[in-house]
Amino acid sequence: MLRDVAAIGAAMVAVGASFGAMGVAAGLPGWATVAMSVLVYAGGAQFMAVGLVAAGSPLAAVLAGLLLNARHLPFGLTLGDSLGHQRWRRLLGSHLMTDEATAFALARPAGGARHRAFWLAGTLLFLAWNAGTLLGVLAGGAVGDPTALGLDAAFPAGLIALLLPTLRDPEIRRVALTGAGLAVLATPVLPAGLPVLLALGALVLPLIRRRPPGTDPVPVTAAGADHREAGPGRVVATEEAPC
C-alpha cells in the first residue's frame, strides 16, 4: 500500500506546487498560501478560492469551498469508527480526510486494517500537498501547469484503481454507475462541485430495492395447493388430500 500512496503523493506534490505558484501570482503572501494548505487542505477548493479572492469575491470563495467540500459529510459517516474513538483523533482525522485517503481506507476490510490505511494515506498525502505548496511558493512562476503533464488525471485514475475491487458487488456497481451518470449529465449545467453532490442521490437505490418486512412473496410449492391463514400476515400452503 505504501507504494500506491507514494504514487498518488508524487502527483500531489506537483499539483500542490502549482497551487503555491498560483497563490503567489494572484497576490497572496507566501505565508498565507502555505497557511491555507496547512489549515484548509482542500485541494481543488483552494484553487477556486484563490481565483475568487483574486477576483475580489472573498465571501463567494468561502461559500464555494463549503459547497465543494460538503461531500466529506458522507465520508465522515462512513469512516467514523476508523478514525478512532478519542475526540482529538476524530478532529485530526476529519482534517486529513480527502477523496484519496477515503478510497485507500475503504479498499481495506473494516477494523484495524482500515484504521491503519486511513492514517497512513492521510498523513503522507497531507505532507505531500504541503511540501508541494512550499515548493511552489519558493519557485514562483517556474512551476508549470500540472494539466499540461496530465497530472490532473492522476487522481481520478488512482481512485478508480482503488475502488475497482469493491465494484464486484452488483449493488455497489449499480450505485456507482448511477452516481457517475448523474454527475456526467449534470456537469454541463451545474456549477463546479454540485454534480458530485448530485451523484450522492444514487445512494437511495439500495433503499428502493429493499422490500419492507412482511412483503416477501409466498411461494406455492404444489399445484392446486389449498391456502389457509396461519396467523396475521402469514399463509401456509397445504396439499389437497387425494380423493
pLDDT in tens, 29-38: 889 999 999 9
d(CA 66, CA 89): 22
Write down the pLDDT at residue 153: 54
Query: What pLDDT digit, counting tens, does each position of 163-174 carry?
Result: 666 667 787 788
What one-character DSSP code corresponds to residue 55?
T
Write down the pLDDT at residue 225: 44
Write down the pLDDT at residue 148: 57
Going from the first residue of the chain to its last (243 residues), give the mean pLDDT of each consecutive group of 10, the final group possibly shorter.
Answer: 80 85 84 92 82 74 74 80 85 88 85 89 93 88 56 56 66 81 84 70 71 52 45 46 45
Residues forming beta bridges with residue 229, ordered by sequence position: 235
CA distances from 82 to 163, 180, 230 (A): 18, 26, 46
d(CA 83, CA 88): 10
Say if CB 90 and CB 84 are below 8 A apart: yes
Residues in the chain: 243
Say if CB 102 and CB 155 are below 8 A apart: no
Write down the pLDDT at residue 238: 44
3-state secondary structure of 119: helix
Sequence spans of domains, the chain? 2-165, 169-210
Say if CB 208 and CB 196 are below 8 A apart: no
d(CA 149, CA 133): 18
Closest CA to 119 of 137, 151, 147, 93: 93
Centre a 10 Å sphere on the Cβ of residue 189 and count the other Cβ atoms it contains.
8
φ, ψ at 237 (rounded to 5°): -95, 130
Query: The cell 485541494 sits on which residue?
Result: 43
Query: What pLDDT digit, counting tens, does each position of 96-133 carry?
Result: 988 888 888 888 888 888 889 899 999 999 999 999 99
Cell of 138: 519558493
Closest CA to 184 of 171, 199, 172: 199
Write down the pLDDT at residue 37: 92
Cell of 130: 504541503
